[in-house]
A = this chain, B = another copy of it.
């Protein structure tokens, strides 16, 4: 689509303009927040979202503290992020509270996104049933929980990649133009 004569800098500018939305990646992990291990899943999510056309300014890291996660998610919505992707804290261990924090801030649930990720991941491992990930909308921000592993991030984003652009477009749309034909 972009004329190759204009070189890489021009292409970068045009691609930036073509961004389908501003996205935030939030890694949620006690150990990564404490600096005890390197955050690998956040950068992986960032890379995949950038390839999908999102403008991902940065990947942040938070501890598994429900109140802190809720505060950051609310602020992200106020700041105008189109998409917030969390990684981690979706399992069954006592400190895993990302889904609860997400449920507390979303105004409208979009269960089909989390279900699609589970269904696709179940084709790889039955343990996918243990991801408690949720997905939903706050204002005009779509929030999606991903697992904490790099492998889980890859599998889940691969599952939802085909619908992400349509999802964030619809979020901005008036209902008059949506789903009626």
Contact = CB atoms under 8 A, between A and B. Distances in A.
A94 B109 CA distance: 13
A12 interface: no
5 contacts: A88-B180, A92-B170, A94-B173, A116-B122, A149-B180
Given A93-B171, A93-B178, A110-B132, 19 more contacts: A31-B176, A37-B180, A41-B180, A64-B175, A88-B179, A90-B179, A92-B110, A92-B142, A92-B171, A94-B174, A95-B175, A97-B108, A99-B108, A112-B118, A112-B128, A116-B129, A119-B119, A127-B166, A129-B160
A137 B176 contact: no
A138 B112 CA distance: 23
A113 interface: yes
Given A149-B181, A180-B29, A180-B31, A112 B91 contact: no
Nearest to A142: B92
A177 B149 CA distance: 12
A162 interface: yes
A93 B173 contact: yes
Stoichiometry, as copies per complex, reads 3
A80 interface: no
A interface, size bucket: 35 or more
A129 to B, nearest CB: 4
A132 B148 contact: no
A152 interface: yes
Nearest to A110: B132
Contacts of A127: 163, 166
A39 to B, nearest CB: 9
Contact of A163 (B100, B111, B126, B171): B126
